[in-house]
Amino acid sequence: MHQCRFDFADVSFAVVDRQRCVFGKTNSYSSPLHPGAEAVVWTYSAYVEIWARGKCITRHERCYRKRQPVLDLEHYLYVLERKPCAPAGSMPLAKWRSQGRWPKSYDLVWQRMIERLGRQNGTREMLSLLYLGQRTEPNQFTHAITQAVELGCADISAVRSLLTATQQIRPKSDVIELGALARHEPPLPTLEAYDHLLKTEVARCALYPPRSSKLDQRKLQDPARSHHRSFEGRSLVIHGEAARSTPGRSTGYW
């Protein structure tokens, strides 16, 4: 007898509403889809899966209460990024706090970002940090943020460096004895020739100091003197702010 595998799930079709949620059984579950998109909701006994375009896009723990919103903060990062003052009091963040997915280290690094960059830019930096957490294991991401707080760092680049720190460790290579080939090793370079050039240049500047031009000496002697300028036999004498010229000749600013 041919054996067929059946999923013990209730399948329903739904449309994403304005809150980016789909209705499954008696509750609404958040999704990363845009409002108006069509989705398929697979409701199992322990969890709920939301499918779109032939693949599972998100998964929630099933809620058996009625008319309860089950929200995931990662589904609203794009919306909250456009409203930097909204994340602090948003419902998805409150859901994460109640579920224990927002530890104290997140608040500490967020507060330091606000102190360093301001409220709006610091909140955007924190949202960018959460974008980075979407591509990382939750425990590893939380551990990296905790390390950043202990080190006094409040920057996304520091957390990224801590996440990739294990990949940057390279094993040390064994020391190879050169033996007879050691005589071909070139000597280490020295800086004695550069020191000699530096001493020669200092001695030359001491014997022949640079001379200033006559115009600079004239300005130092009498900085308030009038400026005389000539052009094609015509002269203009400027005293202070007033300008005078000889009769029959044009006056201009030179």
Residue 49 and residue 40 in contact, taking contact as beta carbons nearer than 8 Å? no
pTM over 0.85: no
Kindly state whether residues 64 and 78 are assigned to the same domain: no
Domain containing 52 equals 7-70
Return the structure tokens found at 177: 């004895």
Number of H helices, E strands in the chain: 9, 10
183 found inside a domain: no
CA distance 122 to 218: 56
Listed residues 166, 199, 218: the one ending a domain: 166
Q: Nearest Cα to 246, choosing from 254, 233, 135, 81?
A: 233
What pLDDT sits at residue 43?
92
Return the structure tokens found at 184: 């071909």
Could you read off the pLDDT of 64-122 as tens digits, one per residue? 989 899 999 999 988 888 887 777 778 889 889 888 889 999 999 999 999 999 988 98
Residue 137 and residue 147 in contact, taking contact as beta carbons nearer than 8 Å? no
Kindly state whether residues 147 and 77 are assigned to the same domain: yes
Label residue 41 by pLDDT band (50, 70, 90): very high
The one-letter amino acid code at 211 reads R
Triad 228, 232, 234: Cα angle to 5°: 50
Return the structure tokens found at 73: 């903060």
123 found inside a domain: yes
100 found inside a domain: yes
Listed residues 70, 86, 121: the one ending a domain: 70
Could you read off the pLDDT of 169-182 as tens digits, one per residue? 667 777 778 778 87
Q: What is the domain count for the chain?
A: 2
Residue 43 and residue 59 in contact, taking contact as beta carbons nearer than 8 Å? no
